[in-house]
Amino acid sequence: QVQLVESGGGLVQAGGSLRLSCAPSGTIFSGYTMGWHRQAPGKQRELVAAISSGGTTNYADSVKGRFTISRDNAKNTVDLQMNSLKPEDTAVYYCAAMNIYGPRTWGNAFWGQGTQVTVSS
């Protein structure tokens, strides 16, 4: 069974911090590009941050400088440290592992069930 389980979401005041964790199971994800996406009500799901198997990262402009994605291949986990949170960061956050087979897009990925992040003002 291949699963991605997110944790760490919750309610936080603007300016606060949260750390999300993604714990893949069923396979070793050290060779996968991993990413965090989010979807707010009425909006499209968007890529927040991604990290390649080699450690290269990229971020959405809206979170650059505030969020940090990291991976610990030994623990088979991927984290998203979120600082200086804003109300517009409120969304369901999803962990994803890009499939190493087939197209190298997020349309070809394994997805977690999501964790809610709510930032109050």
Q: What is the CA radius of gyration of the chain?
A: 14
Query: Which pair of tokens denotes residue 42?
Result: 């009425």
- Residue 119: which of 54, 67, 53 has the closest Cα? 67
Residue 3 structure tokens? 């699963």
Using the Cα atoms of residue 4, residue 107, residue 51 and residue 104 in order, give the sign of their dihedral.
Answer: positive
Beta bridge partners of 5: 23
- Residue 95's identity, in one-letter code, is C
- In the beta sheet, which residues pair with residue 68? 81
Q: What is the pLDDT along the chain (121 residues), one digit of tens a residue?
A: 578 999 999 999 999 999 999 998 877 888 899 999 999 999 999 999 999 999 999 999 999 999 999 998 788 899 999 999 999 999 999 999 999 999 999 999 999 999 999 999 9
